[in-house]
Amino acid sequence: MNAGPAPIRRTTVSCNYRMFGMHDPSCEESDNFATAVSAASREVVGWAPNAVMVEVVCDLVRIGVQVEVLAGEPAADESADLLRDGRLEVPGGLLSVPQSADEAFQRGVDLPDGPGTYGVRVLGYGRARARRLRDEGVGPAIVGALAGIEHYRICLWRVLSEPRWEDDED
CATH code of the domain containing 77: 2.60.34.30
166 assigned to some structural domain: no
The number of domains in the chain is: 1
3 falls within a domain: no
Residue 114 located in a structural domain: yes
pLDDT in tens, 61-77: 899 999 999 999 999 89
pLDDT of 93 above 90: yes
Give the 3-state DSSP-derived string for 33-46, with helices as H, strands as E and coil as C: HHHHHHHHHHHCEE
Domain assignment present for residue 108? The answer is yes
Where is pLDDT greater, at 57 or 59?
57
Q: Which domain holds residue 120?
A: 8-160
pLDDT band at 166 (very low <50, low <70, confident <90, very high): low
Helix (H, G, I), strand (E, B) or coil at 18: coil
Q: Residue 117: its pLDDT value, please? A: 97
pTM, whole model, 2 decimals? 0.89
Whether residue 2 lies inside any domain: the answer is no
Closest CA to 88 of 123, 56, 124, 48: 48
User: What pLDDT was estimated at residue 1?
Assistant: 38
| Residue pLDDT, tens place only, 3-56 | 445 688 999 999 888 999 999 999 876 788 899 999 999 999 999 999 999 999
User: Does a structural domain hold residue 168?
Assistant: no
Cβ contact 144:58 at 8 Å: no
pLDDT tens digits, one per residue of 94-151: 999 999 999 999 999 999 999 999 999 999 999 999 998 888 876 777 888 888 899 9
Does residue 170 sit within a domain? no
Among 121, 149, 129, 126, CA closest to 62: 149
Q: Whole-angstrom Cα distance, residue 54 to residue 7? A: 22
In a domain, 167, yes or no: no
